Every structure is written in C-alpha cells, then in structure tokens.
Amino acid sequence: MDAPQPFSDKEIAFLEALVAGGVDFLVVGLAAAALQGAPAVTQDVDLWFRNLDDPALMRTLARAGASYIPPTASTPPLIAGAGTELFDIVVHMHGLESFEKEAGQAIRIRLGRVELPVLPLARVIASKKATGRPKDLSILPALEDTLRARRYTLNSDGSGS
C-alpha cells in the first residue's frame, strides 16, 4: 500500500476553494520551486495573498471550515483548520515587485483538480537572493540549475515535462 502523501485531497480542496472563491494569491517559496522541478525540500507551502483583509478570503476560509489568525508581536499571521496545516501565509516577498505585478507574470500549474497561480522559478530565485539569508543562498545553485534544465525540457505549455 502506498504511504499517505502530505499533500493530498484535503489540501487540494482548500486551494480549490481559494480559487473558486476568487481569492488573489500565489504559491511562492520552495514549494513553488518544487512544483517547477527543483530538487528542494520544504516543510510547508507558502501562500502570498494580495490582501489579508480581502472579504473573499474570509468567506472562503469560513466555508472551508478554516480561520484566519491575525499576527501578534511574536507570531506571524496563520491559517488554522483541517486541511490547512501545510500552508503558511506570506505577507512580504523580498526583492520582488508588488503582488499585482508578480501575479501578472505567474505561471499556472495544475495540481489535481485545480490550476494554481505559481511564482515563476526565476522570481523565486530573485526573492531568495534578496533575503541574503544563508539558508536561502545555499539553495540557489539547485534552483538555478533547475532553471537551466527547464530551458531544455519545457513542454509547449511552459509547465515543464
């Protein structure tokens, strides 16, 4: 029997609810890189929302049985509820343009039933370079080599093999 996968139907259902609810968001960080073929490990899936006060986001979270926990002095903003454990909220992306500009360049990647807006690998690299943190800089060679590999293997839809 196959082992249970961390990212399964309930996580896909949550993303599907965000898309169906008209919430503006992007998958960013190493999860975005992994979706594009990077041999990178991550513990969670970072979601960058255009506006955390968006009524569509609040409605969607409520419908999905989840809730938004605002940030405090010592904690970041969080999403709580079944099917949301893997997701982290990102409020700022280092080295990138505004959400609107980056969303305009997003690529679409199908994950099960849902087509997701994903930050392109080149922009993930730009954000990792901009943070300057050792853990972000150490993954850059793998991300840059993935970008090189993708140049030679892209499908006509640009989504990768």
Partner 1 sequence: MTIAVKAPEPEAADATTLARERLERARAICDAEPEASFENVWHALILLEDPPLVRLNRSLIRGRTATVQR
Among 73, 100, 101, 152, the residue binding partner 1 under the rule CB under 8 A is 152
How many angstroms separate the Cα of 127 from the Cα of each of 8, 97, 98? 27, 10, 12
Q: Annotate each residue in 68-97 with x if it binds partner 1 (CB under 8 A) or - if it does not, as one string.
A: ------------------x-----------
Residue 149: CB minimum distance to partner 1, A: 4
Residue 150 touches partner 1, criterion: CB under 8 A: yes
DSSP-derived 3-state class of residue 70: coil
How many of the chain's residues bind partner 1 (CB under 8 A)?
Answer: 35
Residue 142: CB minimum distance to partner 1, A: 5
Nearer to partner 1, 63 or 108 (CB): 108
DSSP-derived 3-state class of residue 37: coil
81 backbone φψ class: left, alpha, beta (φ>0; ψ -120 to 50) = left
Dist CA 93 CA 128 (whole Å)? 9
Dist CA 29 CA 32 (whole Å)? 5
Helix 55-63 and helix 9-20, axial crossing angle in degrees, nearest 10: 140
Comparing CA positions, the residue from 76, 78, 59 lying closest to residue 68 is 78
Residue 114: CB minimum distance to partner 1, A: 10
Site for partner 1 in 18-77 (CB under 8 A): 30-31, 34-45
Residue 160 touches partner 1, criterion: CB under 8 A: yes
Among 10, 98, 145, 157, the residue binding partner 1 under the rule CB under 8 A is 145
* Residues of this chain that bind partner 1 (CB under 8 A): 5-7, 30-31, 34-45, 86, 109-112, 141-142, 144-146, 148-150, 152-153, 159-161
